[in-house]
Amino acid sequence: MSEESVDQKILGEEPKWFTWKKKGIAVLIVLVLIFGWFKYGTVKMMDVTIASTDSKDGMFLVFTDEGTFKNVDSWWHLKFKSSDVQGMAAPGSTVTMKVYGLRSGLTSSYKNIISIEKR
């Protein structure tokens, strides 16, 4: 046995790799909580009037009186019908949209539409 491992056993110290492993697990838990909040904590219902729609860089865009939204599939919300949702986004109609996410001009990100219901 090496001198270091004997000292660790006597003093009750943990090996350095074990300390880093615990820190890594703690960071991973924090990241999962932040990601979960972003995906589920920002969900809300909005009543909007649709001005127009467009398709840009492989994603559908919906322009409303409340801002611009994207309409892409979402594994986290089990949404795989973006084309159908886009079809319900008729310009001039007033709808209730279920959306999640945050709008950021800095990163050019939009809130994503989960569903649209006509009113």
- pLDDT per position as a tens digit, 37-65: 666 668 899 999 999 999 988 889 999 99
The sign of the dihedral angle between the CA atoms of 85, 86, 88, 94 is positive
Instruction: Kindly give, in sequence order, each residue whose CB lies less than 8 Å from that of residue 18, ignoring residues fewer than 6 positions away.
Output: none
- pLDDT per position as a tens digit, 93-107: 999 999 998 888 787
Which is the CATH superfamily of the domain at 42-118?
A: NigD-like N-terminal OB domain (2.40.50.500)
In terms of Cβ atoms closer than 10 Å to its own Cβ (0-12, 13-18, 19+), residue 113 is buried
Q: What is the pLDDT of residue 23?
A: 84
* 108 vs 8 pLDDT, higher one: 108
Distance CA 62, CA 9 (A): 63
Contact 113, 69 (CB under 8 A): yes
Distance CA 12, CA 40 (A): 42
- In the structure, what pLDDT confidence band is assigned to residue 5 with cuts at 50, 70 and 90? low
Domain boundaries, the chain: 3-40, 42-118
Q: What is the pLDDT of residue 9?
A: 58
Distance CA 45, CA 81 (A): 18
